[in-house]
């Protein structure tokens, strides 16, 4: 392949690679939120008091959509 063809391919694919990377980062963030909310759900009332949350606040957080 010539250098100009490689440059054309790179220029064409680079934005798509960035989009895929951002999508992957967003999916990881959603997964992390899901796991954190599951962990919150498993805390006892005593543990929730230690972190300054009520059971009602946890219920509200658990039903939130992962991307919010």
Span 3-61, pLDDT tens digits: 777 777 767 766 777 778 888 899 999 999 999 999 999 999 999 999 999 999 999 99
pLDDT of 1 over the 70 cut: no
Q: Which two tokens stand for residue 2?
A: 């010539």
**Whether 40 contacts 61, CB under 8 Å:** yes
Q: What is the pLDDT of residue 30?
A: 92
Tell me how many domains the chain contains: 1
Total residues found in the chain within this entry: 68
**Domain range for residue 56?**
3-62
Which residue from 23, 27, 24, 46 is spatially nearest to 35, judged by alpha carbons?
A: 27
- pTM, entire model: 0.66
| Average pLDDT over the chain, rounded to an integer | 86
DSSP state of 42: T
**Is 67 inside a domain boundary?**
no
pLDDT for 16 equals 72
**What are the tokens at 50?**
């230690």
């Amino acid at each position: 392949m010539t250098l100009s063809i490689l440059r054309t391919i790179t220029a064409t694919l680079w934005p798509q690679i960035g989009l895929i990377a951002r999508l992957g980062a967003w999916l990881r963030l959603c997964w992390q939120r899901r796991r954190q909310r599951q962990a919150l759900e498993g805390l006892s009332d005593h543990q929730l008091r230690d972190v300054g949350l009520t059971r009602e606040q946890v219920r509200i957080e658990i039903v939130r959509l992962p991307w919010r």
